[in-house]
Each structure stands twice: as structure tokens, then as C-alpha cells.
């Protein structure tokens, strides 16, 4: 998607004073403001057309000076970031409250753990400007809620549809990791990261966490794990082991504030060095305006020469 703008848009502010000068020049019959343009004068029948063309030339030159550009914001050439997958626990226990955020986020409502996790995760997703992001939800089983994609709005929208218990009441951590590995199947990113969040212990699914962690290691996927909820609810020993063996980090969040700071820490830890390049792919079009102005000027010179 290209965004058309002017590199030096502030110059447009000078356009109106310049046009006013042209008007005053014509009013007082002082063409010397524009040196040598007098030889472009035409017969009375062509005066209006030629005057309009001269003004158009002026506008073209002025706009060219402001340097029109097309900025490519989401061109695939800019997508050199990381592929990140959020595996979020959507089991029945994530309906528990008592983990509320600040009033500006919760708006006075009593939010569940899952609702808070979605708000914070959405903010994290939007910050990953150069990365592809996806979501896996898990309970008794795991499923891909959103494939890994660059379209952040779609990922956040799909994340908003998640509700507690939609994948069952239990917690299949092994299946969640295995489904994450499957989601990375077509990834060509050099850095693949899975962020697994849960408030419980592994007690369901067809694949053990050990087997799933081995699959992730073989696929060169780094796993950061987050234990959410009251102390002792999540299997911190298991989450620590999964993170350590994959080269990731384990975090524990006992409050919404801590959870938010954890995502911020991961965002800083996994920063994409070329994030700023997203807005640096520019195409300059001043030369097109100069060519148009030159073409019109040559036409006027040709018309004058024929007289």
C-alpha cells in the first residue's frame, strides 16, 4: 500500500504568497518578476490559454520543488522481521477474575484473565511493526486462531473472538506447542518465536510437553513462557524447563501490571533492528512533474516560433 505525500510539504505554505505576487504583477503590468517570459506572449485569441499554461507550469515546478513521494509502508520487501506466534490459554480457568488492569483499560469492569491477556497481547501485536504474528488458542486441544501474517488488524480481530472454554476446560500445553510448530511450517524467517501463556498445569492433549518441546527445538523455534495467575497455579517448573531448553525465558505474572511489563520486556528483547526501515522505501516523482512542465514550455516556445 503506497502513501502519497510531499517530502517538503511546508513549501506549500509559500504557494499562496507566490500566486498573489503573480496576480499583483499582472495587475500592475510588471512582467519583470518573471524574467524573459515576455517572449511567450501570444495573440489575444490565445492569451487566456497560454496564461493558464504558464500558471500550470509554475504550479508544476512548485510542486516538484516540494518533492512528491510514494512511501511504501507494507511492501513485502520491508518484511524482514521475525515470525512470532502467541499461544494463549483459553481453558475454563482463564475465566477467573481478580487480575484486573488499570481503570483506563478495564473501564471499571471486572475482567477475566483471558480478557486482560487479549488486551495486552493486542497492544504487543501492534508494536511488532516489522514482524509477522499469529495466534494459537488451547484448552483440551489446540487450534490456530490466526495464521502467521503481516496483517496486524486481522490477527487482533481474530484474537478478540477467543473466549474461555472454547477449546475445552483443561490445559493441553503439549498440543499448544505442537500446533505452534505446525503454524511455523511455512515460515522462512530466520527468527521464529513462540510466546506461550497459561495459568494452569498440563493435564490434557495427545502430545506431552517434552515431545512438543523437542519438535520446537528441531524446528529452531525459541519459546518464551509466561505463567499467569496466583502463585502456584501454573506449572512453573515445566514452563521454566520448556523455555530454557529452547533458548527462551520464563516469566511469571501475578498481576495485570506484571503481565504488561513482561510483554514489553519481550518486545525489547526480541526487537527487530530494521523496524525503522518500514517507512524508508520511498519513490520520488518530482521528475515526472518536471517533464510535464518542460513539455508545456516547449509547446509554448513552438507556438511563439510559428508566429
179 vs 161: CA distance, rounded Å: 19
Which of these, 251, 256, 236, 232, lies nearest to 112 by C-alpha position? 256
86 vs 194: CA distance, rounded Å: 6
pLDDT of residue 289: 84
pLDDT digits (tens, 9 = 90+) for 236-286: 999 999 999 999 999 999 999 999 999 999 999 998 654 434 445 667 887
CB 303, CB 53: distance < 8 Å: no
pLDDT digits (tens, 9 = 90+) for 214-224: 999 999 999 99
Question: Taking the CA of residue 265 as centre, how many other CA atoms within 13 Å lie in the half-sphere pointing to its CB?
Answer: 16
pLDDT of residue 5: 73
pLDDT digits (tens, 9 = 90+) for 169-217: 999 999 999 999 999 998 988 899 999 999 999 999 999 999 999 999 9
pLDDT of residue 13: 67
238 vs 97: CA distance, rounded Å: 24
Q: In this model, does residue 12 exceed pLDDT 90?
A: no
pLDDT of residue 293: 84
256 vs 251: CA distance, rounded Å: 13
Q: In this model, does residue 161 exceed pLDDT 70?
A: yes
16 vs 169: CA distance, rounded Å: 67
pLDDT of residue 73: 58
Q: pLDDT higher for 26 or 70?
A: 70
114 vs 121: CA distance, rounded Å: 10
pLDDT of residue 103: 47
Q: pLDDT higher for 44 or 138?
A: 138
pLDDT band at 100, cuts 50/70/90? Answer: low
pLDDT band at 89, cuts 50/70/90? Answer: very high
295 vs 142: CA distance, rounded Å: 64
Q: pLDDT higher for 160 or 288?
A: 160
**Structural domains in the chain, sorted by start:** 2-72+281-305 (no CATH), 76-277 (3.40.50.410)
pLDDT digits (tens, 9 = 90+) for 103-160: 445 555 778 999 999 999 999 999 998 899 999 999 999 999 999 998 999 999 999 9
Q: In this model, does residue 305 exceed pLDDT 60?
A: yes
Amino acid at each position: 500500500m503506497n502513501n502519497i505525500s510531499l517530502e517538503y510539504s511546508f513549501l506549500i505554505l509559500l504557494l499562496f504568497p507566490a500566486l498573489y505576487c503573480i496576480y499583483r504583477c499582472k495587475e500592475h503590468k510588471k512582467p519583470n518578476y518573471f524574467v524573459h517570459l515576455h517572449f511567450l506572449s501570444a495573440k489575444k485569441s490565445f492569451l487566456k490559454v497560454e496564461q493558464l499554461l504558464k500558471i500550470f507550469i509554475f504550479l508544476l515546478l512548485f510542486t516538484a520543488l516540494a518533492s512528491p513521494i510514494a512511501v511504501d509502508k507494507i511492501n513485502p520487501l520491508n518484511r524482514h522481521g521475525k515470525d512470532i506466534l502467541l499461544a494463549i490459554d483459553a481453558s475454563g480457568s482463564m475465566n477467573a477474575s481478580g487480575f484486573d488492569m488499570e481503570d483506563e483499560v478495564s473501564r471499571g469492569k471486572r475482567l477475566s484473565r483471558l480478557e486482560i491477556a487479549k488486551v495486552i497481547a493486542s497492544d504487543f501485536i501492534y508494536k511488532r511493526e516489522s514482524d509477522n504474528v499469529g495466534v494459537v488458542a488451547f484448552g483440551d486441544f489446540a487450534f490456530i486462531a490466526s495464521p502467521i501474517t503481516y496483517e496486524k488488524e486481522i490477527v487482533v480481530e481474530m484474537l478478540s473472538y477467543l473466549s474461555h472454554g472454547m477449546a475445552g476446560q483443561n490445559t493441553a500445553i503439549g498440543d499448544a506447542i505442537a500446533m505452534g510448530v505446525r503454524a511455523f511450517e511455512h515460515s522462512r524467517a530466520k527468527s521464529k518465536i513462540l510466546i506461550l501463556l497459561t495459568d494452569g498445569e498440563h493435564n490434557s492433549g495427545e502430545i506431552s510437553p517434552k515431545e512438543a518441546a523437542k519438535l520446537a527445538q528441531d524446528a529452531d523455534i525459541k519459546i518464551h513462557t509466561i505463567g499467569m495467575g496466583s502463585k502456584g497455579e501454573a506449572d512453573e517448573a515445566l514452563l521454566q524447563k520448556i523455555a530454557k531448553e529452547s533458548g527462551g525465558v520464563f516469566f511469571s505474572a501475578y498481576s495485570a501490571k506484571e503481565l504488561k511489563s513482561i510483554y514489553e520486556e519481550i518486545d525489547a528483547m526480541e526487537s527487530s533492528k530494521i523496524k525503522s526501515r518500514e517507512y524508508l522505501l520511498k519513490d520520488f516523482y518530482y521528475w515526472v512533474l518536471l517533464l510535464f512542465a518542460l513539455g508545456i514550455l516547449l509547446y509554448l516556445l513552438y507556438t511563439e516560433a510559428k508566429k
